[in-house]
Amino acid sequence: MEPTVLHRLRDLCLALPEVTERPSHGEPTWFIGARKTFVMFADHHHDDRLAFWCAAAPGAQEELVAAAPEHYFRPPYVGHRGWIGVYLDVPIDWTEIHELVEESYRAVAPVRLVTMLNAHKGSHIG
């Protein structure tokens, strides 16, 4: 059976160092440690679309929304902080979703955990 979009997103998030999941505002949300949110699921949370919201590097939101508004949007509440909304009810490139989740993690995680992630990724090269 094909895993659901939520299960695939969950697997990507929970594969990162020290990530936990718990509901926030009624939706599955992933945290680094106990308090730092980096990805939020949005199951028709404020509209009729399935999506997730994630932290992003400065300027990424504007670039992605301008280039592909059918895939990306400025989410409510966190959009003013540069977060990206990613539609999940369109054809999904899971390689791109993986990159967005990892970049979100890097944008929020403390240096110690980013270093750990880099070391882990480097151990798989070769």
Question: What is the structure's pLDDT at 111?
Answer: 95
Percent of the chain at pLDDT > 70 equals 91
Q: Where are the domains of the chain?
A: 5-122
Instruction: Flag whether pLDDT at 110 surpasses 50.
Output: yes
pTM of the model: 0.90
Question: Where do the H-state alpha helices sit in the chain?
Answer: 5-14, 60-67, 94-108, 111-122
Instruction: Flag whether pLDDT at 61 surpasses 60.
Output: yes
Q: Which CATH class is domain 5-122?
A: alpha beta
Question: What is the structure's pLDDT at 125?
Answer: 46
Question: What is the structure's pLDDT at 47?
Answer: 72
Question: What is the structure's pLDDT at 120?
Answer: 81
